[in-house]
Structure 1
């Protein structure tokens, strides 16, 4: 009788150890890629997630939603590497008065016209293009000290990601485009069909 009880206790203890080991392996698997955590993307990479958590600066979790989450989930590895980690703080993410939603990253921004998940979002990572877009401009696009910039400026919201044609990188906007020749460093800004100064030094 004592021998049967001992075997039963050993059997139960053995199963307990196996269960603990399996649980430990499960956690290691989940922690393997801690930079992105999204149940929808993990289960079905083809799905469009409406919420996605990404590890930001100082390992703070940043939650992307709507079109920003969908765009990040569908971004190429090169786009994600160019973006880097998302920045934290109120001024680095949110919704503008116009309804535009955005998330700033160390190397770029993801931005969409509004928060509807069906709205296309775009990634702008080119440093000079981003700087020219963020230059304060008058309504006609000429740089001016007290103008507006970014999505509120005369160019408006991006309508494309960065496209590359040889040395030329271009982003189109609602009211124009900005191109950079990566060989010469020359930046061309077009607003409503007119070439205007880039405003870059």
Structure 2
């Protein structure tokens, strides 16, 4: 809102100097006190509408438990007895089954997801300094059946990572332990979900 003629002239000559964060959505030049009041009321009404929209959006996210940015999903389809294929939203696929052949089992996919998730975190943190000469992650656990049903216990993730000689490689070796810890404690979605836990719902939908 421009009310001072000197400011108005300066803005007209050099908009960037008066609006360093970018061009405003609107410029108002009221000529009377009544026009100033109307402009202020219009701004306040706009702010109130924006806040209401944000509140409704947050409410919808809370009700659904997810938003467009947080939602993740895959589709699993049967290909034959004991054999399935999972498809992600980008069109990627992976086959798995009961373990009667070389295909992964669902439990092995869980172990792979755990190792892959933390491997990505650690690789991104270290490879910016040096390419590793060796990078592997072994994930193991015990499958048991007790009063709680079938489940895995004693999950263990073991990294084997080496780097060549050089200053960048020295830096990568130095930050490796911290990268592994940060992935375990904060970043790896799979391991954090396993350790913290989350409800799993199962429903049947009419075809």
Q: TM-score, normalised by structure 2?
A: 0.23
Q: Is the radius of gyration larger for structure 1 or structure 2?
A: 2
Structure number having the greater helix percentage: 2
Structure number having the greater strand percentage: 1
